[in-house]
């Protein structure tokens, strides 16, 4: 596949080798490394963004640990949208091996794909026509098309057999080039409209531009005087780079392309993001398996199954050496039966399930997660270009001993310890910047000094940090500016209170004055009671738990005092005359305020709130049944209503409309059935009311009743049913009819057999 290209006017010639690879394949990587060592190029061109030429030498740093990715991003996108793209590399990526070879050999290494500055500008071509299966399949999945022609229904399995699992032997690259040339010839024979049908908008045009730029870069490299040039690109592009296309044609193709300003850097990547299931177009099904095939050069099946046994033993599952030996034999036997050169992932997985896991699926899923995907996070050197915000975060991570990891892990924080408190503040600050490295557990009790986080680093966080760098150069400074901007642009009072709460959690004392001024101003002019009620829980949480973190909450106390008074004054007119939907919405506000004031534990505010609820119950005719029932329950729990059975009796009496009675019961019983389990009088009232409903009325209120009782835990529903069944039993001395209908003659053989089993002698 070598070819000679004219290089200089003097007639000197250069030798060029074009190696067509699969972007993440261990067999391709190993074969390419061997081919480069044989060819010994003095320049290496790689499919990738040319802007990375300035930082490619970082790949030779010992601190650069794959998987990593080149990141191209627009420092200041004009339309405010995100413009970024990644070019990932794993240890088993052929391009990575080509880079490492060139750097070690001292050969110049350059990227020859269309610049990222052009690729980040979206295509404006029209939508494609309806797909023609052959054309679309060849162009978008050439390997799949070759696999189909070879009788395979799985392209990855075919590629594994012919390339990834092959041993030492002749180079596969001439055969790959020949196959791709044949496919492109078949595609070229189709009508133009048929060849482009079904492709993404702009796909053909972009492909032409990319291949034109690859040829242009190749020409320039040859003209610079390099005698032996190696080009590493996707297999599909090999025929295009070997074709004799005039330079003028490529110049016309590339003339006037729109571009944007971009910056380029290296970022850590993960095996999970290399997997095809992550949405990565060039992804592979099993990056952990491919990494193993590349690094385990001898006896890969034995080493894999031994590692799988180790994983299972770590989970206290018994797996012996005999299990491993038998699993290896089974995997090899399956490969031989299927005509495969080496046991693939399918055979190894089947052997693992049958022998190591004894048919159980859960241990297989564990191996899938730990080994087949093999989640790992790469690393980049300290001298990698970064925005100041990224560097500050790395310094904070080192100071607080919070090492990023691709695998989600729980972090329990005790806020009474200074280091844990600082960790909590850092995680809350990052959340303010929309960098959700840590996810706070919903089960965390805010009444304690503990928080539980789940930490998992994703490569996209680097893009988000770059974007957040517009707010400041440090995490604290950027978060402070971001909080002030959120407060200034908040649309509702609830949004403002949420910002205030987050400021306290993140210890953003510099932002609090701005946030509190905006909060006080909005609260003073907002006359909507629903808005005031929805804002209160967040403020109370911030006020109640600010002291746990050692932050000042003085300004919040003034805001809360004013809100409580205004809510209690405005609630009566706002809560009367509501329809069903409005009553249900308002009920959530009532519960939220009630819970917030209970949490605040301010006796003056709690007493004012309870008196307001008591006053509302003196005018039940103005309240929706749902609201009246709920207020009755809240005051009952507070010990303020001694006549609840009488109130319920009136609410569900014959004269009450069935739908209002059902709404009253729903509001009263919302939140749990313990009340009915322990108050027999209330349970009898509900039971008698339901039993007395006419058929038509019962059908009407059934959805409301189902919604109420369906929300109870199964154990509570069962206990209520048992209690009702006991109430329905006749008095002592009587029996149910079926208990008198026992046929002693027919029952005696069964009774005698039972007694004999128990060891008793029948009389």
User: Which one has a higher pLDDT value, 462 or 494?
Assistant: 462
Q: Backbone phi, then psi, for 18, in 5-degree steps?
A: -110, 115
pLDDT tens digits along 94-113: 999 999 999 999 999 999 99
pLDDT tens digits along 666-710: 787 776 666 667 667 667 767 776 776 667 667 766 776 677 676
Tokens at 378, concatenated: 């790469």
Q: Backbone phi, then psi, for 163, in 5-degree steps?
A: -125, -60
Sheet harboring 68-73: ordered strands across? 84-89, 68-73, 263-268
Q: Backbone phi, then psi, for 180, in 5-degree steps?
A: -65, -35
Mean pLDDT of the chain: 82
Read off the pTM. Answer: 0.71
Average pLDDT of 45-72? 95
Question: Among 595, 632, 598, which Cα is nearest to 616's?
Answer: 632
Quickly state the pLDDT bin for 127 (edges 50, 70, 90).
very low
**Cβ within 8 Å of residue 313, ≥6 positions away:** 319
Average pLDDT of 419-441? 93
Query: How many residues does this entry show for the chain?
Result: 763
Kindly tell me if the per-residue pLDDT of 78 is higher than 60.
no
Q: Is the distance from CB of 568 to CB of 612 less than 8 angstroms?
A: yes
Looking only at the bridges linking them, the beta strands covering 409-414 and 84-89 are unpaired
Question: Among 573, 552, 570, which Cα is nearest to 562's?
Answer: 570
Domain ranges of the chain: 15-121+138-274, 296-372, 388-469, 624-631+638-729
Distance CA 677, CA 690 (A): 17
- Radius of gyration of the chain from Cα atoms? 36
**Cβ within 8 Å of residue 413, ≥6 positions away:** 420, 421, 423, 424, 450, 451, 452, 453
Q: Does residue 67 have a cis peptide bond before it, meaning omega lies within 30 degrees of 0?
A: yes
Q: Backbone phi, then psi, for 88, in 5-degree steps?
A: -80, 155
Q: Kindly list the distances between the CA atom of residue 412 and the CA atoms of 1, 372, 397, 417, in Å, as whole numbers in the listed order.
A: 59, 29, 16, 12
Q: Can you give the pLDDT at residue 547?
A: 53
Looking only at the bridges linking them, the beta strands covering 13-21 and 3-6 are antiparallel
Q: Can you give the pLDDT at residue 516?
A: 79
Tokens at 739, concatenated: 């208990």
**Cβ within 8 Å of residue 258, ≥6 positions away:** 118, 121
Count of Cβ atoms closer than 10 Å to residue 48 Cβ: 23
Average pLDDT of 462-485? 91
Q: Can you give the pLDDT at residue 654?
A: 65
Distance CA 523, CA 496 (A): 10
Distance CA 513, CA 482 (A): 14
Quickly state the pLDDT bin for 16 (edges 50, 70, 90).
very high
Q: Can you give the pLDDT at residue 50?
A: 96
Q: Kindly list the distances between the CA atom of residue 260 and the CA atoms of 122, 163, 201, 204, in Å, as whole numbers in the listed order.
A: 10, 39, 20, 21
Distance CA 137, CA 98 (A): 29
User: From the centroid of its chain, how far is CA 701?
Assistant: 41
Quickly state the pLDDT bin for 128 (edges 50, 70, 90).
very low
Question: What H or E segment, with its residue span, contains residue 455?
Answer: strand 450-455
Distance CA 594, CA 636 (A): 13
Which of the residue ranges 212-221, 468-477, 658-667, 740-749 has the most confident prediction, judged by mean pLDDT?
A: 212-221
Q: What is the dihedral of CA 700, 704, 705, 708, to 10 degrees?
A: 180
Quickly state the pLDDT bin for 596 (edges 50, 70, 90).
confident
Q: Please tell me the least confidently modeled range out of 370-379, 499-508, 641-650.
A: 641-650
């Amino acid at each position: 596949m070598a070819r000679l290209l004219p290089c200089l006017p003097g007639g000197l010639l250069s030798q060029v080798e074009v190696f067509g690879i699969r972007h993440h394949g261990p067999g391709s990587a190993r074969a390419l490394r061997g081919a480069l060592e044989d060819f010994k190029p003095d320049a290496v061109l790689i499919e990738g963004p040319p802007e990375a030429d300035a930082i490619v030498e970082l790949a030779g740093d010992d601190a650069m640990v794959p998987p990593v990715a080149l990141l191209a991003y627009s420092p200041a996108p004009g339309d405010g949208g995100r413009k970024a793209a990644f070019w990932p590399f794993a240890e088993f990526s052929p391009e990575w091996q080509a880079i490492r070879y060139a750097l070690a050999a001292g050969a110049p290494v350059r990227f020859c794909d269309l610049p990222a500055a052009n690729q980040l500008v979206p295509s404006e071509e029209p939508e494609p026509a309806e797909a023609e299966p052959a054309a679309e399949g060849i162009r978008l999945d050439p390997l799949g098309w070759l696999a189909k022609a070879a009788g395979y229904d799985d392209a990855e399995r075919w590629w594994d057999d012919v390339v990834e699992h092959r041993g030492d032997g002749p180079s596969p690259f001439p055969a790959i080039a020949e196959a791709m040339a044949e496919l492109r010839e078949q595609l070229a024979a189709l009508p133009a409209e048929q060849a482009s049908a079904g492709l993404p908008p702009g796909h053909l045009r972009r492909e032409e531009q990319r291949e034109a730029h690859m040829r242009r870069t190749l020409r320039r490299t040859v003209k610079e005087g390099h005698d032996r040039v190696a080009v590493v690109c996707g297999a599909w592009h090999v025929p295009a780079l070997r074709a004799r296309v005039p330079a003028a044609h490529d110049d016309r193709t590339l003339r006037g392309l729109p571009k944007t300003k971009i910056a380029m850097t290296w970022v850590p990547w993960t095996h999970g993001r290399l997997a095809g299931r992550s949405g990565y177009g060039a992804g592979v099904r099993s990056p952990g398996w491919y990494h193993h095939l590349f690094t385990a050069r001898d006896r890969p099946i034995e080493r894999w199954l031994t590692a799988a046994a180790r994983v299972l033993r770590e989970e206290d599952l018994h797996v012996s050496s005999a299990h491993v030996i038998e699993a290896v034999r089974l995997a090899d036997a399956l490969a031989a039966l299927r005509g495969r050169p080496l046991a693939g992932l399918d055979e190894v997985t089947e052997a693992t399930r049958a022998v190591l896991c004894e048919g159980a699926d859960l241990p297989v899923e564990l191996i899938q997660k730990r080994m087949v995907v093999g989640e790992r996070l790469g690393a980049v050197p300290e001298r990698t270009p970064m925005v100041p915000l990224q560097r500050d975060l790395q310094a904070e991570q080192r100071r607080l001993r919070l090492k990023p990891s691709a695998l989600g892990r729980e972090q329990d924080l005790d806020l009474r310890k200074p280091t844990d408190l600082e960790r909590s503040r850092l995680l809350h600050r990052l959340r303010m910047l929309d960098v959700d490295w840590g996810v706070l557990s919903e089960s965390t009790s805010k009444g304690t000094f503990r928080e539980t986080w789940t930490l998992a680093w994703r490569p996209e966080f680097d893009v988000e940090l770059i974007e957040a760098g517009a707010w400041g150069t440090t995490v604290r400074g950027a978060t402070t500016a971001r909080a002030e901007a959120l407060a200034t642009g908040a649309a509702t009072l609830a949004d403002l209170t949420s910002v205030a709460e987050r400021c306290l959690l993140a210890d953003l004392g510099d932002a609090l004055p701005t946030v509190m001024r905006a909060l006080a101003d909005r609260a003073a002019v907002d006359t909507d009671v629903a808005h005031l009620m929805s804002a209160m829980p967040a403020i109370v949480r911030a006020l109640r738990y600010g002291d746990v973190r050692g932050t000042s909450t003085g300004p919040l106390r003034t805001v809360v005092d004013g809100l409580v008074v205004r809510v209690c004054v405005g609630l009566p007119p706002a809560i009367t005359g509501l329809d069903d939907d409005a009553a249900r919405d308002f009920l959530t506000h009532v519960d939220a305020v009630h819970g917030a004031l209970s949490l605040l534990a301010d006796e003056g505010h709690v007493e004012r709130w309870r008196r307001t609820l008591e006053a509302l119950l003196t005018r039940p005719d103005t309240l929706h049944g749902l609201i009246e029932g709920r207020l009755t329950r809240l005051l009952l729990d507070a010990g303020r209503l001694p006549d609840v059975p009488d109130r319920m009796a009136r609410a569900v009496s014959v004269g009450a409309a069935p739908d209002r009675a059902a709404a009253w019961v729903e509001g009263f019983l919302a939140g749990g059935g313990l009340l009915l389990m322990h108050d027999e009088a209330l349970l009898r009232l509900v039971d008698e009311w339901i039993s007395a409903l006419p058929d038509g009325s019962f059908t009407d209120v059934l959805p409301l009743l189902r919604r109420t009782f369906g929300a109870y835990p199964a154990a509570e529903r069962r206990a209520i049913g048992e209690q009702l069944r006991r109430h329905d039993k006749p008095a002592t001395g009587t029996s149910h009819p079926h208990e008198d209908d026992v046929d002693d003659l027919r029952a005696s053989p069964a009774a005698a057999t039972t007694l004999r089993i128990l060891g008793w002698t029948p009389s």
